[in-house]
Amino acid sequence: MTAAVETTGLGARYGRHWAVRDCTLSLPRGGIVALVGPNGAGKTTLLHLAAGLLRPSTGSIRVLGEKPYYSSGLMTRVGFVAQGAPLYSDFTADELLVMGSKLNRGFEQASAREQLRRLDIPLHWRVGSLPGGQRVQVALTLALGKRPELLLLDEPAAGLDLLARREFLRTLMGSTAEQGATIVLSSHLIEDLDRVCDWLVIMSAGQVQVLGSVEELKARHKVLIGPVVIGSAHQKKIIGVAQVVRASHTDRQSTLLVRTDGVVHDPSWMVQDVSLQDLVLAYLADPAEGLLPGPIGHRSDNGVQGVHV
Ligand code: ATP
């Protein structure tokens, strides 16, 4: 089966500014992909390329096997909710469902209406007058109503409170389970993503820094707490550690986030599991800030830049 999204040397620029550079990745079908990175990393640009709103400046992108910018039929198979979940604010949710069914053959109007009722969303209010969480749910229900094979969501949960985010994420998980859809979701709310995502893509400065299954990435990274390891006299290879991604030190101890290549058996180090947030922060940290020099802190050629697990 073709990948959900596949890019080769993909680049996009606005004028002379490259928003996405040399991006090669493959996202499998099924499950939820988290796309994270700091402001200006290129996440929105990548989603716009996948939704066919932008033409690549270099390289190529295929979505469900087709070139999105050139394929008129592809958007019947792809849902896209842009940043801020824009909707026609004078329309009621009910009118938007009717419009959805007129525009998309196979739109599941009855189940979409049922979903909004389940969420206690008033169908006859203008969507502009609904609270933010409910507006996002309407946008998501419309996007899911056409049963897309791929759903692209650009910071859909931004501005929602904790309960609205939980509800939203529950809807997402339900739709991957029921419909087998692939969902690519950009977000800054990394703690939320930890519970729901199967795949992680970390971007910065227009490039993919890390791509992998969340389960494998977590299994292959650990936090080590132990003796202070600043200065060459204290540096020795820790068995089981392939790379120190990030290090921080106090007078008494060092804390290392490491990529492992075996079991870490050194009794001088306490070994802890990592959270998704630990991983993202470690790979996005300024290299000058947190890396050890020398044997265990060296950033290798196949290290941070484009780790694919
Ligand atoms: P955020 O998390 O803030 O939404 P992002 O990761 O989605 O950021 P993009 O919006 O894709 O990042 O922007 C990538 C880069 O491209 C940024 O430097 C941004 O300033 C620039 N950029 C984005 N859109 C345009 C545009 N329409 N014209 C010019 N430059 C743009």
Ligand 1: nearest atom to the Cα of 41: 6
pLDDT higher than threshold 90 for residue 41 = yes
What's the pLDDT score for residue 297? 34
Ranges 1-15, 31-45, 78-92: which has the least confidence: 78-92
d(CA 82, CA 105): 22
Specify the pTM.
Answer: 0.87
Lowest mean pLDDT among 15-19, 111-115, 228-232: 228-232
Instruction: Identify the pLDDT of residue 37.
Output: 94
Asked if the model's pLDDT at residue 75 lies above 50, the reply is yes
In this structure, the residue with its CA closest to atom 18 of ligand 1 is 40
Q: Is the CB of 204 under 6 A from ligand 1?
A: no
pLDDT band at 286 (very low <50, low <70, confident <90, very high): low
C-alpha of residue 263 to centroid of ligand 1, in Å: 41
pLDDT value of residue 237: 80
Q: Is the pLDDT of residue 192 over 90?
A: no
pLDDT of residue 304: 33
Minimal-distance CA residue to ligand 1 atom 26: 14
Residue nearest atom 17 of ligand 1, based on CA coordinates: 40
Which residues touch 146 (CB under 8 Å, ≥6 apart)?
76, 79, 100, 104, 106, 107, 108
Indicate if the alpha-carbon torsion angle 129, 163, 110, 139 is positive or negative.
Answer: positive
Atom of ligand 1 nearest to the CA of 83: 4
Is residue 283 within 8 A of residue 210, CB to CB? The reply is yes
Query: What confidence score (pLDDT) does residue 72 get?
Result: 83
Predicted local distance difference test score (pLDDT) of residue 290? 45
pLDDT at 275: 93
Give the three-state DSSP class for 253. Answer: coil
* pLDDT value at 68 more than 80: yes
Least confident range from 72-81, 178-187, 233-242: namely 233-242
Q: Ligand 1 mean position to 193 CA, how many Å?
A: 22
pLDDT value for 203: 94
Which amino acid, 187?
S
- The pLDDT of 282-299, averaged and rounded, is 52
pLDDT > 70? residue 292 = no
Please tell me if the CB atom of residue 37 comes closer than 6 angstroms to any atom of ligand 1: yes
Query: What's the CA-to-centroid distance between 158 and ligand 1, angstroms?
Result: 17
Mean pLDDT, the chain, integer: 86
Q: Whose CA is nearest to atom 25 of ligand 1?
A: 14
39 lines ligand 1 (CB under 6 A): yes
Q: Is the pLDDT of residue 167 over 60?
A: yes
For 129-139, write each residue's pLDDT tens digit. 888 888 888 99
Taking the C-alpha atoms of residue 232 and residue 123, their distance in angstroms, rounded to an integer, is 67
The verdict on the CB of residue 11 being under 6 Å from ligand 1 is no
Query: What's the N-to-C CA distance of the chain in angstroms?
Result: 20
Ligand 1 close to Cβ of residue 42 (< 6 A):
yes
Does the Cβ of 17 fall within 6 Å of ligand 1?
A: yes
Alpha-carbon distance of 118 to 166, in angstroms, equals 15
CA nearest ligand 1 atom 19, residue: 40
Position 242 scores a pLDDT of 92
Distance of CA 273 to the CA centre of its chain: 21
